A = this chain, B = another copy of it.
Amino acid sequence: MMSAMSPRPAGAPPATGAGSRRKRSKGDLTSQAILDTAEHLLQTRSLDDIAVDELTSGAGISRSTFYFHYESREAVLYALSERAAEGLYDSAALWLRRGSEPPEDSIRRAIAGTVALWRAHGPVLRAAVRARDTSELVRGFWSGVARRFVDSTAQQIEIEREAGIAVPGPPTAHALATVLVTMNESMCYSLSLSRRSAARDREAVETLTAVWLRSVYGVSR
Contacts and interface: CB of A to CB of B under 8 A. Distances in A.
Contact of A130 (B130, B185, B220): B130
A115 to B, nearest CB: 13
A65 interface: no
A186 interface: yes
Contacts of A176: 207, 210-211
Given A130-B130, A186-B185, A179 B220 contact: no
Contact of A215 (B185, B203, B215): B215
Given A130-B130, A220-B167, A211 B211 contact: yes
15 contacts: A130-B130, A167-B214, A171-B207, A171-B210, A172-B203, A172-B207, A176-B207, A176-B210, A179-B208, A180-B211, A183-B183, A185-B186, A214-B214, A214-B218, A215-B215
A204 B182 CA distance: 12
Contacts of A210: 170-171, 176, 215
Contacts of A190: 182
A85 interface: no
A126 B6 CA distance: 40
Interface string A134-174: 10000000000000000000000000000000010011100
A218 B215 contact: no
A13 B100 CA distance: 63
Size class of A's contact patch? 20 to 34
A71 interface: no
Interface string A183-195: 1011100100000
Nearest to A177: B207
Contact of A182 (B126, B133, B187, B214): B187
Interface string A79-117: 000000000000000000000000000000000000000
Given A167-B221, A218-B220, A186 B182 contact: yes
Contacts of A178: 207
A192 B134 CA distance: 16
A165 to B, nearest CB: 12
A70 to B, nearest CB: 20
